[in-house]
Amino acid sequence: MKSFVKRTIHAFIKMRDVTGQMVVDKQEITKENERLKDELASLTKMCEKLKKDSDAYENIIAELRERVDVAMGSEKMIETLTAKNLDMEEKVRALEETIDDFEAIRAMDEEILETQKDVEKELREELDRSCGKISELFLQIKACGAQAEDYEKTILMFRKKVNDLNEELQERYDENLRMVEQIKLLEKGSTVPGISFSATRTFSEIVDAEVRSLELEFANQYTKYLKAFMPDNFAKPGGDSDAIILNVLFPRLYQKSMILAKLMSNK
């Protein structure tokens, strides 16, 4: 019994100790639980804050993603704009070259216009001079017409004079033929009343000299009339007049030399 009591007491003491320890442990556990609750509350707040931060970061990420997309789109747009800018620069350069060409063409047009004005001025002056010359030519033509009428009258007078001279020459020629027939009759021994042989010979020489003088006068007058209607360069040295004189001179010299040779052989 004592042993049971001792064991019971001992168990009771041990239970007390265990209970005391359990109380202490409970207190510690309660404190630990409170501490854990505080930590849980703190962690909950931290989680909520982290969640808020996560949402904010997600919003920032979305915004940044949008910005990246916009930036990428902007980059493409920049590339497109750069390509367009290069194209526009090429077009501007081509337009500048075209403008330079147009400027050069405009300068050439101005030079051509100035040259055209000078040429037009020269042509007008030339036209005025030509009109003046034409007026002078009209006056000369009018004067030449009047002079031609005078020449026509002179030609008619010359033809009339030539006809008169031809008639006179024909009469003289017929008269000379009659005289030559008489001379031939005298040379054959026929007699002409009142004329001796010596007188007849002298008369023949006189008639021959008169005829030659008449022919010479007629030839000189004929030549004078012809020269009046020849051009101005006809009588110039080396002109057609000298050629005609030479063509007449050489046969005449030849005939004279033949006559002289014949006379010398007869003598």
Res 109: pLDDT? 76
Q: For residues 12 and 32, what is the distance between their CA atoms, to the nearest angstrom? A: 28
Task: Answer whether residue 93 shows pLDDT above 80.
Answer: yes
Count CA within 13 A, CB hemisphere, residue 69. 5
The reported pTM is 0.28
Confidence band for 60, pLDDT divided at 50, 70 and 90:
confident
pLDDT (tens digit per residue) in 136-182: 878 887 887 777 777 677 767 767 766 776 676 677 667 667 766 76
pLDDT tens profile 107-121: 887 888 888 788 788
The pLDDT of residue 191: 47
Q: Which residue has the higher pLDDT, 229 or 90?
A: 90
Helix axes 197-228, 2-187, angle to 10 degrees: 160
The rounded mean pLDDT for the chain is: 73
Query: What are the φ and ψ backbone dihedral angles of 195, each rounded to 5 degrees?
Result: -130, 125
Specify whether the CB–CB gap between 223 and 195 falls below 8 A.
Answer: no
Kindly tell me if the per-residue pLDDT of 219 is higher than 80.
Answer: no
Coil, strand, or helix at residue 267?
coil
Per-residue burial over 137-172, b = 16 or more CB atoms within 10 Å of its CB, e = otherwise = eeeeeeeeeeeeeeeeeeeeeeeeeeeebeeeeeeb
Give one DSSP letter per residue of 79-143, joined into a string.
Answer: HHHHHHHHHHHHHHHHHHHHHHHHHHHHHHHHHHHHHHHHHHHHHHHHHHHHHHHHHHHHHHHHH
Residue 25 zone, left/alpha/beta (φ > 0; ψ -120 to 50; rest):
alpha
Is the predicted pLDDT of residue 200 greater than 60, yes or no? Answer: no
Joined together, the tokens standing for residue 69 give 């997309």
How does DSSP classify residue 195? B
pLDDT at 1 over 60: no
- 183, burial (CB in 10 Å: exposed 0-12, middle 13-18, buried 19+): buried
Q: What is the mean pLDDT of residues 23-35?
A: 75
